[in-house]
Amino acid sequence: MTNTTIAPEDLQKSILQHLEKSLGKDTQNATLYDWRTSLSLALRDLVVDPWFRSTRKTYEAAGKRVYYLSMEFLIGRLLEDVAINLGAEDASRKALADLGLEYDKVVRDEPDAALGNGGLGRLAACFLDSLSTLGIPAYGYGIRYEHGLFEQHFEDGRQIEVAEGWLAQRHTWEFERPEVTYRIGFGGHVNGNWEPAETVIANAYDTPILGWKGRWANTLRLWSAKPTVLFDLGSFNRGDLVGAVVPEALARAISRVLYPDDTTEAGKELRLKQEYFFTSASLQDIVRRFGSEGYDIDTLADHVAIQLNDTHPAIAGPELIRLLADDHGVEMARAIEIARDCLAYTNHTLLPEALERWDLGLFARTLPRHLQIIETIEADHLSRTGSHVRIIEDHSVKMGELAFVMAHCVNGVSALHSELVKKTVFADLNRDYPGRIINQTNGVTPRRWLYNCNAPLRELINRTIGESWVDDLDQLKKLETHVSDAGFLEDFMAAKQANKKRLANWLGEQVGQTVDPAAMFDIQIKRIHEYKRQFMNILETIAHWNEIRDNPNGDWTPRLKIFGGKAAPGYFVAKEIIHLINDVSRVINTDPVTRDRLKVIYPPNYNVSMAEVLIPAADLSEQISTAGKEASGTGNMKFALNGALTIGTLDGANVEIRERVGEENFFLFGLTAEEVVNRRTQHDFSRTAIANSPHLARVLNQIADGLFSAGDPGRYHGLVTLLYEHDYFLVTCDFDDYHATQNKVDTAFVDRRRWSEMAALNTARSGWFSSDRTIEGYAKDIWNTPSLLDKSGS
Q: Active site includes 638?
A: yes
Q: Would you count residue 400 as binding ligand PLP (CB under 6 A)?
A: no
> What is the x/- site pattern for ligand PLP, positions 120-139, by CB under 6 A?
--x-----------------
> Which of 476/528 has CB closer to ligand PLP?
528
CB 188 within 8 A of CB 198: yes
In single-letter form, the type of residue at position 605 comes to N
Catalytic: which of 349, 441, 541, 634?
634
Q: Residues 417, 422, 532, 658: which is the catalytic one?
A: 532
Q: How far is the CB of 251 from ligand PLP (least distance, A)?
A: 30
Q: Where are the alpha helices (DSSP H) in 512-561?
A: 534-550
Closest CA to 318 of 273, 279, 350, 292: 279
The answer to whether residue 635 forms part of the interface with ligand PLP (CB under 6 A) is yes
The three-state secondary structure class of 362 is helix
- Beta-sheet pairing, 193-195 with 189-191: antiparallel
Q: Could you give the 3-state DSSP secondary structure of residue 563?
A: strand
- Selected binder of ligand PLP within 634, 642, 763, 785 (CB under 6 A): 634
The amino acid at residue 661 is V
Q: Give least dist CB 408 to ligand PLP, A.
A: 28
> Residue 706: left if φ>0, alpha if ψ -120 to 50, beta else—which one?
left
Least distance (Å) between residue 610 CB and ligand PLP: 7
Q: Between 560 and 599, how does the x/- string for binding to ligand PLP read (CB under 6 A)?
A: ----------------------------------------
Amino acid at 380: D
Part of the chain binding ligand PLP (CB under 6 A), chosen from 118-126, 270-278, 334-342, 345-353: 118-126
Catalytic residue among 144, 348, 660, 765: 348
Say which of 215, 526, 561, 715 is annotated catalytic.
526
How are beta strands 520-525 and 113-115 bridged, if at all?
unpaired
HSE of 202, CA atoms in CB hemisphere, 13 A: 29
Asked about 634 being catalytic, the answer comes back as yes
The pairing of beta strand 396-398 with beta strand 357-359? antiparallel
> In this complex, which beta carbon is closest to ligand PLP, that of residue 196 or of residue 633?
633
Among 765, 573, 783, residue whose Cα is nearest residue 659: 765
Q: Binder to ligand PLP among 608, 631, 676, 696 (CB under 6 A)?
A: 608
State in angstroms the smallest separation of the CB of 453 from ligand PLP. Answer: 10
Span near ligand PLP by CB under 6 A; candidates 133-141, 185-193, 632-640, 775-783: 632-640
Q: Is 427:387 a contact under the CB 8 Å cutoff?
A: no
**Is residue 119 near ligand PLP by the rule CB under 6 A?**
yes
Nearest partner of 503 among 545, 453, 460, judged by Cα:
453
CB of 158 to ligand PLP, least distance (A): 21
Task: Say how far apart CA 583 and CA 434 lie, in whole Å.
Answer: 51
Q: How far is the CB of 572 from ligand PLP (least distance, A)?
A: 20
Selected binder of ligand PLP within 633, 643, 648, 670 (CB under 6 A): 633
Collapse the DSSP code of 112 into the 3-class scheme (helix H, G, I; strand E, B; otherwise coil) and give the result: coil
Q: Which part of the chain contacts ligand PLP (CB under 6 A), choosing from 243-251, 369-377, 589-597, 629-637?
A: 629-637
The amino acid that residue 668 corresponds to is L
Each residue 487-526 as x (binds ligand PLP by CB under 6 A) or -, in order, gives: ---------------------------------------x
Among candidate residues 347, 352, 259, 272, the one with its CA nearest the CA of residue 568: 259
User: CB 732 → ligand PLP: shortest distance, Å?
Assistant: 23
Short-list 93, 89, 78, CA closest to 4:
89
Q: What contacts 164, CB < 8 A, 6 or more positions away? A: 114, 147, 148, 149, 150, 151
Q: Which is nearer to ligand PLP, 74 or 719 (CB)?
A: 74
Please report how close the Cβ of residue 608 comes to ligand PLP at its closest, in angstroms. Answer: 5
Q: Which of 136, 142, 124 is nearest to 54 (CA)?
A: 136
β strands within 158-303, DSSP E:
158-162, 175-186, 189-191, 193-195, 198-210, 217-227
Total interface residues for ligand PLP by CB under 6 A: 12
Give 182's strand partners.
Answer: 202
Residue 446 binds ligand PLP, judged by CB under 6 A: no
Question: Rounded distance, CA 356 to CA 560, Å?
Answer: 39
Please list, in sequence order, all residues whose beta carbon lies within 8 angstroms of the beta carbon of residue 369, skipping any fewer than 6 positions away: 190, 194, 322, 326
* Binding mask of the shown chain, residues 519 to 558, with x at each position contacting ligand PLP by CB under 6 A: -------x--------------------------------
Cβ proximity to ligand PLP, 611 vs 782, nearer residue:
611
- The residue of the chain with the least Cβ separation from ligand PLP equals 635
- Binding test (CB under 6 A) with ligand PLP, winner from 611, 657, 704, 761: 611
Minimum separation from the CB atom of position 581 to ligand PLP (A): 16
Residue 506 C-beta: closest distance to ligand PLP, Å:
16
Cα separation of 130 and 66, whole Å?
12
- Output the CA torsion sign for 748, 754, 756, 757: negative
Q: Using the 8-state DSSP alphabet, how is residue 783 labeled? A: I
Please tell me the distance from the alpha carbon of residue 325 to that of residue 318, in angstroms, as a whole number: 10
Q: Which C-beta is closer to ligand PLP: that of 531 or that of 749?
A: 531
CA angle in degrees (0–180, nearest 5) for 588-589-594: 65
Stretch that binds ligand PLP, among 10-18, 115-123, 691-699, 726-734 (CB under 6 A): 115-123
Contact 349, 263 (CB under 8 A): yes
Least spacing, CB of residue 55 vs ligand PLP, in Å: 30
Residue closer to ligand PLP by CB (options 257, 614) is 614
**Binding track, positions 667-696, relative to ligand PLP; x by CB under 6 A:** ------------------------------
Residues within the interface to ligand PLP (CB under 6 A) = 74, 118-119, 122, 526, 607-608, 611, 633-635, 638
Please list the active-site residues: 348, 526-527, 532, 634, 638
